[in-house]
Chain A
Amino acid sequence: MFAGTGVRVRPGSFVAWTVIVGTVALVASPVAVLAWSLADPSTEVWAELWRTRLPSMIVETVVLVAAVVAGSVVLGASLAWLVAAHDFAGRRAIGWLLVAPLAIPGYVGGFVWLDALSDVVGARGVRSHWLCALVLVLSLYPYVYLFARAAFADQGADTVAAARSLGAGPFGVFLRVALPAARPAIAAGAALVAMEVLTDIGTVRLFNVSTLADGVMRTWFGTGDAGAASELATALTGAALLLVAADRLLRRGARRSRGASEATMPRRRLSCAESTVALAVSLGVLTVALGVPLARLVGWSTETIRAGRAVTVSGGVAHHVASTVLLAGSAAVVCMAAGTLLALAVARRGRIAHALGRVSTVGYAMPGPVVAVGAVVALAAVDRLGWLPDGYFLVGSAAGLVFALVVRFFAVSYQGVEAGLEKVAPTMVESARVLGAGRVRSAVAIELPAARYGALAAAALLSVDLVKELPITLLLRPFGIDTLSTWVWQATSESLWAQAAVPSLVMVATGMVAVGVLLVALERGAEVVS
């Protein structure tokens, strides 16, 4: 009888809900469409797949994911512990550099090592599952490292002191206190790693590992059989969903253990001998993951440029750089703009809005080939409606490709901005309101500036992801358009390592800049999220 007063429903609510529902529907549509089309699987295709390739694909995928995740967790978590809990000469620089391999895609590191090792073990022996896993570990461990380092640094000094006073030695503290407490963060990093392995097509192709993602690509290009490709995409989706479930399970439990006023993890000063070992280990990792690939790429590139061969690729470097910048750039801008709008609309709007917001991240939990297939199905449906002017189709257009890229990476921008906004104290927003600021002014003047480092970190991660993205670009790029990553793909599939060096180097350089920006944002208080 006492009608809730008008305070509850504020002007702008309608706009916000329109933004939420609209964005989420658009971003989730390819996955929804795919799920719909897979509701009635064609039994013939399935039977054929089961008889032939599918079982071995599943085994190879599972083994590879398990090996890479295990390797990344061991390497990433121990390096993070070294940097977060110890003090030695060069610690700061090494702490930063250890993130840099993120800028080297697995398929770039892959062909460098393939070439370097084929002299040692022979061209045949080098194409092994284990080398493939190793190369992937070297390019993906930074995800675990970033998450674990933040989690270790976040653990309070008092917790460590308490453990020490109860008789735990330095290693005991790591094993019994720090590691279990960092488990949710490490699981988050491991989930990202696993997803990257599921979505990888470049590295596995180099080492002849037939994973599910590889199968989707081969089926698509080889037989042009969209039916079989999308059935394989289902299997891949199933694997991804299992992963998400495992991640949620592992991440249960407290996220934060440190009181606001408490000091952060104290760093133990290493002795001279210990410092040497620490330096040797971390520099060793950096050499293998960063130094050798960079040196090799620079060497090949100078050779190629001197010989004037870089321009022989159709369109030359300029075309590839331009199309990469244009495609990745527009996808990044759309992602950031839509992600920011959605995060603002969802912020402080209750459980339903948050749940809807989470739906928009579904693309990030889907491997690239799956998103590509889903986007094609969705875009083709729109094309069939005939709303577009004659002669225009979304499938095979740049707009279609950008759409698919946005679907795949939307979560990075949305969750990054959301994490930034969550750090804005509610009292701050309320203060702005009481001082007369409406929703828009509060968002522009208070919330977004306060979330700027979260957004910056998201934009940097997004750039790294977009520049090295391969499966979606390969499947959906407009005719005659090539990016740096597709150039590398083409050159490496013909074993023309030197040809692939120039675009790889440009890609790695771009990635390095983005990683630098990411590190700056993290220093200023942004949080890594997934």
Chain B
Amino acid sequence: MSTVDAAPHSGSAPVLRATGIRRRLGGRDVLDGVDLEVAPGELVTLVGPSGCGKSTLLRVLAGLEPTDAGSVVLSGRDVTTVPAEQRRVGLVFQDNALFGHLRVARNVAFGLHHLPKAEREARTAAMLEVVRLGHLARRYPHQLSGGEQQRVALARALAPQPSVVLLDEPFGALDEVLREEIGWEVKSILARSGTAAVLVTHDRHEALSLGDRVAVMDHGRILQCAPPRTVYERPSSRFVADFLAVSSYVPSASGGSTMLRPHQLRVSRGGPWTVRRVEFLGASHRYTVQSANGSTAVADLGPDEPLSVGDACDVSPVASGVVSP
């Protein structure tokens, strides 16, 4: 798992650079000046509440949606006005959009139209091996499981060797267990093929666990784009902090307040706070506690003997936390 703080490939020239992207739809700025860069081989997750513009951004990058302003540069080529079929990006949809009347192999070969037959077949077979579905090449999409279908869709998108793959909530239609598994699978396939990717999701855990960097979007803007640990522990805004995880704000000496994640707070028996809610998380308990003046805090660390609702307690940070933006 990547927990480095800097962008992993920050040295090299970006494969994708979107600058000042604007898009107005239905009298609303769906994209309000978006800048995004993706380095070679990097996986950027794009996360935000529904309607924040993340899917529209992906469609703009793919060329399926025009831009009102701004530019899209792919591998050094300005493709802002290039139609989708000439952009050479990969695209994977939530509904996988496999061609139902074509066998798996023909689906994967669809984007290799321009190659000679032998080369096309070799590339298709190789691609199916990468997603470990070589044995299903002769099947039709509807004969596959949801996870297998999504892997075929990825193989199809990767086959023409695009410089960047765009994934629009690719695991949204899968159940939770399968979702986690295929998420990791996709990440490793992308790493093996060395393809850069932008993955749109509304699931913050997915965004944090899969992304080399996480871009948090709201109201048509990217609020912060940084490695997972940075956006989690040092969010640039209160929205980013609250969107990614539960946080507590403790008054700080400097007059502002300090943001602390639940794992950075410990409750102890007796004190001015009152336990309002106890959630059993398996390995630990999560306490929601309230102070006399009404402010609340959420803590994952507590005494060995669990507290109960209504107990008096105290809260203390176990890490320095960050000064809240």
User: Residues on A close to B: CB < 8 A?
Assistant: 2, 4-8, 10, 425, 427-428, 430-438, 441, 445-446, 449-450, 452
Contact = CB atoms under 8 A, between A and B. Distances in A.
26 contacts: A2-B22, A4-B66, A5-B66, A6-B82, A6-B83, A7-B63, A425-B97, A430-B62, A430-B64, A431-B91, A432-B99, A432-B110, A433-B64, A433-B84, A433-B85, A434-B63, A434-B85, A435-B157, A436-B85, A436-B88, A437-B113, A438-B85, A445-B110, A446-B99, A449-B102, A450-B101
Interface of B: 22, 62-69, 80-91, 93, 95, 97-102, 110-111, 113-114, 156-157, 160
Contacts of B22: 2
A437 B98 CA distance: 15
A436 B66 contact: no
Contact of B97 (A6, A7, A427, A445): A427
Nearest to A6: B81
Contacts of B87: 434
Contacts of B82: 6-7
B57 to A, nearest CB: 15
A450 B90 CA distance: 22
Given A5-B66, A5-B81, A7-B81, A435 B97 contact: no
A434 B68 contact: no
A456 to B, nearest CB: 13
B103 to A, nearest CB: 12
Contacts of A438: 85
A2 B69 contact: yes
A449 B83 CA distance: 24
A452 B111 CA distance: 22
Contact of A434 (B62, B102, B113): B62
B324 to A, nearest CB: 37
Contacts of A446: 99
B84 A430 contact: yes
Nearest to B94: A427
Nearest to A11: B83
Contacts of B63: 7, 434
A430 B100 CA distance: 15
A65 to B, nearest CB: 42
A6 B22 CA distance: 15
Given A434-B91, A436-B111, A2 B84 contact: no
Nearest to B95: A427
A434 B98 CA distance: 13
B175 to A, nearest CB: 13
Nearest to B84: A433
A5 B87 CA distance: 14
Contacts of B80: 5
A2 B23 CA distance: 10
Contacts of B101: 449-450, 452
A431 B62 CA distance: 10
Contacts of B89: 434
B149 to A, nearest CB: 13
A452 B84 CA distance: 26
A432 B84 CA distance: 10
B68 A4 contact: yes
Nearest to B65: A7
B93 A427 contact: yes
A6 B62 CA distance: 14
B85 A437 contact: yes
A436 B86 contact: yes
Contacts of B95: 425, 427
Nearest to B156: A435
Contacts of A452: 101
A449 B102 CA distance: 9
Contacts of A435: 85, 110-111, 156-157, 160
A430 B66 contact: no
Contacts of B102: 449
Contacts of A431: 91, 93, 97, 99, 156
A436 B114 contact: yes
A430 B83 CA distance: 11
A450 B100 contact: yes
A16 B84 CA distance: 19
Nearest to A438: B85
A80 to B, nearest CB: 28
Contacts of A427: 93, 95, 97
Contacts of A425: 95, 97
Contacts of A450: 99-101
A527 B89 CA distance: 35
A226 B301 CA distance: 95
Contact of B83 (A4, A10, A428, A445): A10
B68 A2 contact: yes
A429 B102 CA distance: 14
A83 to B, nearest CB: 27
